[in-house]
Amino acid sequence: MTKTSTPPVDLASFERLLQQRLQAKLTELTPLQVNCFIKRETLLMVVQHPAPVMAHPSRAFRILEAAFDEEGLPEHFRGLMYLEVEGRNQPYAFHTFRDSLPPNDVAEQVKATTPEGIQAAQQQKKRKSFPAPPPPPPRRDLEEIPPPQYSDPDTISLASPPLTPEGDFSDVDLDLDSLDLDQMMEEFGAEEAPKGGEKFWLAVVIAGAALSVVVFFGSLYVLSRPCVLRACETLDVAEELAGRALNTLEAPPSGQAILQAQQQLNQALDLLASIPPWSGKHDQAQRLLAEYDTTSQRLSELVAALSLASQGANLSQNPPHPVARWESAQSKWREAIAQLGRLPANSPFHDFAQNKIQEYRQNLNVVNRRLRLEQEAVESFAAAQEAAKIAEARQGIAQSLQDLQLASATWETAVRRLQAIQSGTTPYEEAQQQLSVYLPKLSAARERARNEVFATDAYNQALRLAQLAQSAETRNQWSEAVSHWRSAVNYIEQVPSDSFNYAKAQPLIKTYTDALTEAESRLRESLQVRQARANLERVCKSEDLICVYTVTDRLIRVRLTPTYIEEIQQNARIAQQSNNFSAQVDLLDHIFTLEQTLEQISSEAGIPLEIYTSENVLVKRFNP
């Protein structure tokens, strides 16, 4: 059977190359380990990584196949890659880089690439599972506060953008002089009463007529007052104004209408008060004054409550507002509700006031919620800023993994505080700006903590594997020792330079590398000794027992058996006695061939050779 020769491959260098490629591009797999094996025409690559399994193993396959091609290996090997999770015996994904095999090796290769073959090839490798990196609560949007709907225009809506209700008191002028009394009198057909105040300059000239003139004009003034000589249009106008006001107040459509009714009623009171005591309508005017005055007082209380509500509405418009403004609005609404609640049950405005109390309480509830959100937002913003300061300080003085994890947790607190601030509050916009600053810092803190976790795991894993390698050396298990030393070097080289363990890991790289080199040398010697023994066994026991031997890594000692020597001597005597030169030549050739075979075994093993007779007499020494 013709065999295809394959070139030697530096598996250790190729493993490190694959390790670096995967670690650079698939950070979620770290820490990982790559082991390579050659079985005839197949190069087997096994990647071990922590749980969970990869969602898309093809990413790793592409990286491995690219490195496989760059090294020119497809010309000599078929590539076979397996992905394994640390601590599990069976791979969960595999990929073949070259499907075809040399015809003579197909059967053998099929056996070597089965899961059982792979498990047998790796049965001496120890694995350790690493915990998967910890996997940030979703942000809650602001609960929308629906604006209450009111039928009356002197109420407000706290929704944003604000509504401008009909009858909003923000533009109401409470000056009662805005209505023109003369115009009202003219409207009802009243004539302007004559006025006194004539200047009696003649009194200066005519001293004697002064007294009569004063009496004359005083009488004229008295007679010119409303409701004295002529019909009492003033009383009629007052009653008309009061009637209009009372009709409006029976079912007031709005706060504006109430204010207008109050102005009309006050003007009616002024007109009634202008009717003098000597008028025949004075008593009737006084009765109306007493009746209307009580209504006016209750109306003033109602208007005062509406004015407070209007102030609360104005303070609540166009949020967001600071806490102090919401507290002021809250106070206005409470005062308005309390003012309306003081109206007696027999007041003509009692039913209207009770309806307003219900509406104002709804507004007050909205203001209370806004105030509470604003207070919580201000507190959260202050807490976030304080947490960020603490996180900065902790991260700056961190000396251990625990310090880094604490700093990362503090950054998370700061971010959560900012995310809890809802829209519609004064700190919201600034909180969003701060979030754009804090989130990258949180990511960096988490990454550094994860990096330190990886560094710690890699460092501790290297120490553990070094101990296993030393234990194997004491038992002369050099193959096992080489495997452990190789893994220890692999892990210690993965300790990042910005980690706390980096300074401790650097000296160990050379120590472990030297130990690996020594173990590999001892392994080669062990394999040479084993091969030498197999060859000597084949030579010494080919037919009869020709020789006995001992093999160490320093000396091959061969002692010819007495039987063999006696047989050689007897054949030599027979050949000499019979003058059989051909037999003598064959005998010498046999001895020479044995000697050459033993020297070849010594050369292949690289171990010195000594040949002794059965009496332990040294007859040959050979140094390869």
Sign of CA dihedral 290, 294, 296, 297: positive
Q: Please say if the pLDDT value at position 24 is more than 70.
A: yes
When pLDDT is cut at 50, 70 and 90, the band that residue 532 belongs to is confident
* 564: DSSP letter: H
Q: What's the pTM value of the predicted model, to 2 decimals?
A: 0.46
- pLDDT tens readout for residues 398-450: 888 889 889 999 999 999 999 999 999 999 999 999 999 999 999 999 998 99
When pLDDT is cut at 50, 70 and 90, the band that residue 195 belongs to is very low
* 208: DSSP letter: G
Distance CA 438, CA 237 (A): 73
Between the CA atoms of 38, 43, 48 and 51, what dihedral angle is there, to the nearest 10 degrees? -140
Distance CA 495, CA 454 (A): 8
Among 160, 197, 521, 150, which Cα is nearest to 361's?
A: 150
Element (H, E) at 560: strand 556-560
When pLDDT is cut at 50, 70 and 90, the band that residue 204 belongs to is very low
Among 133, 141, 47, 24, which Cα is nearest to 94's?
A: 47
Is the bond preceding residue 162 a cis peptide, omega within 30 degrees?
no
What's the confidence (pLDDT) of residue 414?
94
Contacts of 32 (CB under 8 A, 6+ apart): 19, 22, 23, 47, 48, 49, 50
Q: Please say if the pLDDT value at position 47 is more than 60.
A: yes
For 537, other C-beta atoms within 10 Å of its C-beta total: 12
- pLDDT tens readout for residues 309-338: 999 999 999 999 999 999 999 999 999 999
Q: Which residues pair with 172 in a beta bridge?
A: none
Distance CA 106, CA 97 (A): 16
- pLDDT tens readout for residues 349-408: 888 889 899 999 999 999 999 999 999 999 999 999 999 999 999 888 888 888 988 999
Distance CA 14, CA 16 (A): 5
Contacts of 120 (CB under 8 A, 6+ apart): none
Q: Which two tokens stand for residue 484?
A: 């452990």
Element (H, E) at 441: helix 428-474
Between the CA atoms of 465, 470, 473 and 478, what dihedral angle is there, to the nearest 10 degrees? 20
- pLDDT tens readout for residues 209-234: 444 444 444 444 444 555 665 567 77
E strand intervals along 178-257: none
Q: Quick check: 285 and 239 in contact, CB under 8 A?
A: no
Question: How would DSSP label each residue in 294-315?
Answer: HHHHHHHHHHHHHHHHHHHHHH
Most confident listed range (1-5, 237-241, 367-371, 497-501): 367-371
Q: Quick check: 147 and 157 in contact, CB under 8 A?
A: yes
For the chain, give the mean pLDDT: 76
Q: Which two tokens stand for residue 245?
A: 């006001």
User: Average pLDDT for residues 509-532, to the nearest whole number?
Assistant: 84
Contacts of 93 (CB under 8 A, 6+ apart): 53, 54, 57, 82, 83
What's the confidence (pLDDT) of residue 518?
87
When pLDDT is cut at 50, 70 and 90, the band that residue 543 belongs to is low
Is the bond preceding residue 31 a cis peptide, omega within 30 degrees?
yes
Among 370, 344, 360, which Cα is nearest to 154's?
A: 360
For 163, other C-beta atoms within 10 Å of its C-beta total: 15
- pLDDT tens readout for residues 257-276: 888 888 888 888 888 888 88
Contacts of 473 (CB under 8 A, 6+ apart): 481, 519, 522
Contacts of 261 (CB under 8 A, 6+ apart): 244, 245, 246, 248, 249, 252, 299
Distance CA 481, CA 520 (A): 8
Q: Quick check: 319 and 160 in contact, CB under 8 A?
A: yes
Three-state SS for 200?
coil
Q: Please say if the pLDDT value at position 556 is more than 90.
A: no
Distance CA 524, CA 509 (A): 22
Q: Please say if the pLDDT value at position 578 is more than 60.
A: yes
- pLDDT tens readout for residues 130-140: 333 333 333 33
Residue that wins the pLDDT comparison between 253 and 246:
246
Q: Please say if the pLDDT value at position 515 is more than 50.
A: yes
User: Average pLDDT for residues 109-132, to the nearest whole number?
Assistant: 40
Q: Quick check: 305 and 336 in contact, CB under 8 A?
A: yes
Q: Please say if the pLDDT value at position 159 is more than 50.
A: no
State in Å, rounded, how far the first CA of the chain is from the last one. Answer: 32
